[in-house]
Structure 1
């Protein structure tokens, strides 16, 4: 079950990337243009902070959802739903960085880090 969810998340992230590559309307700023203005806190913590890292990615996806065009919102919502299944609301580790303590990066780097994180989680489960 966990493998399916992780593969689903990775697939959704790839679809989101494809959506970001093609501007949908010429009259508005395209999503690709917007990503140059948006910065996302991008965690890169190691294994002991997986839950905190996941929570940070989810928090930043909520920011992304507010800034994407209507056509792309469902992709972000799907990713959120899949990742929320892995959340442990009782997890707390005071040695893990808060989301806001992470470096801010543009969407392509944020996406790359999130993909790496999900792939590392997948390896742990397998």
Structure 2
């Protein structure tokens, strides 16, 4: 009787694993993207930032992800100087995580340079960066 119960439990565990999949650990990239999106959400309320931010127009071209990340990083370093003290730590976290996410050895000459992109206010920049990072997830 005991063997039947044990066998039944093992069979149930196997069936559940097959049906729902075994739990998979998150990759480093997924962890970084979650942290980036979380910190970005906290910056949503910024409204007193002066200046314009460059938006990467080819941000959804897979081959240009590295260039897009570099543009966002460059603009965030500018934002870091202009943002209120209460947001500085979140901007610092985003900068650090973007640096960790970047592939420094990759280059594609067909991607636009940051300076060739359109300038927008912070809310549009925030929305574009959030959409871009979500697309990388």
The verdict on a shared fold, with TM-score over 0.5 as the criterion, is yes
Task: Determine which of 69, 78, 90 is the counterpart of 1:63.
Answer: 78
User: Under a length normalisation based on structure 1, what TM-score does the superposition of the two structures give?
Assistant: 0.81
Shift of 1:100: 0.5
Q: Which has the higher contact order (CA 8 A, sep 6+)?
A: 1
Task: Tell me what 1:2 maps to.
Answer: 29
Q: Tell me, yes or no, if structure 1 residue 44 matches structure 2 residue 53.
A: no
Task: Determine which of 85, 90, 103 is the counterpart of 1:75.
Answer: 90
Native 8 Å contact 1:49 1:96 kept in 2: yes
Which contiguous aligned blocks of 4+ residues in structure 1 show a shift greater than 3 angstroms? none
Native 8 Å contact 1:44 1:113 kept in 2: no
Instruction: Select the structure of larger CA radius of gyration.
Output: 2
**Structure 1 CA distance, aligned partners of 2:105 and 2:97?**
18
Task: Name stretches of at least 5 consecutive residues in structure 2 with no aligned partner.
Answer: 1-27
User: Under a length normalisation based on structure 2, what TM-score does the superposition of the two structures give?
Assistant: 0.75
**Structure 2 CA distance, aligned partners of 1:47 and 1:92?**
12
Native 8 Å contact 1:41 1:99 kept in 2: yes
**Structure 1 CA distance, aligned partners of 2:101 and 2:53?**
21
**Cα deviation code 1:101-123 (max 9, x no counterpart):** 0100000000000001001110x
Residues 21-32 of structure 1 mapped to structure 2, 5 A cutoff = 32=47
RMSD of Structure 2 on Structure 1 (CA): 1.0
Q: Tell me, yes or no, if structure 1 residue 105 matches structure 2 residue 120.
A: yes
Shift of 1:90: 1.5
Shift of 1:16: 1.2
